[in-house]
Amino acid sequence: MDIKEKITVKDILKDNYNKFKNKYWCIGPQQMREHIDNAVIKALKCSDIKYGFAEYKCEKCGDSTKVPFTCKSKFCNRCGRLYTMKWAEKQRDNMLRVILDIAYLQFQRN
């Protein structure tokens, strides 16, 4: 592997997933193998423009921008982070608005 400034989880999966499968695949539960494989493949394809994109074009100047599709998987670093942030926001909105006053008394020792 070439030395990079920034190593991502995606890079680690690309470099090591097949080695992991060859070594540990027989140990894991058989009913989970397909699910695990699909999750990793989706994460590796996430935000890769060659797997699909939406193109937005300015009608005035003609400039265009391509936005790659994401996998929307909880396993993926990028999509999982967004999923977690949305979940946390939803939980915050579900919480009751309560003001809690705690009396604090300090006793002096004689």
- On the question of pLDDT at 101 being above 80, the answer is no
Rounded CA separation 48/42 (Å): 10
Residue type, 9: V
Which band of pLDDT confidence, cut at 50, 70 and 90, is reported for residue 12? very high
What average pLDDT does this structure show over 10-27?
91
CB distance 36 to 28 below 8 Å: yes
pLDDT value at residue 100: 77
Q: What is the pLDDT of residues 38-52, one digit of tens each?
A: 999 999 999 999 999
Give the largest CA-CA distance in the chain: 81
**pTM of the model as a whole:** 0.65
Q: What is the pLDDT of residues 49-79, one digit of tens each?
A: 999 999 999 999 999 999 999 999 988 988 9
Beta strand extents in 25-63 (DSSP E only): 53-57
Domain boundaries, the chain: 9-94
Count CB neighbours of 71 within 10 A: 20
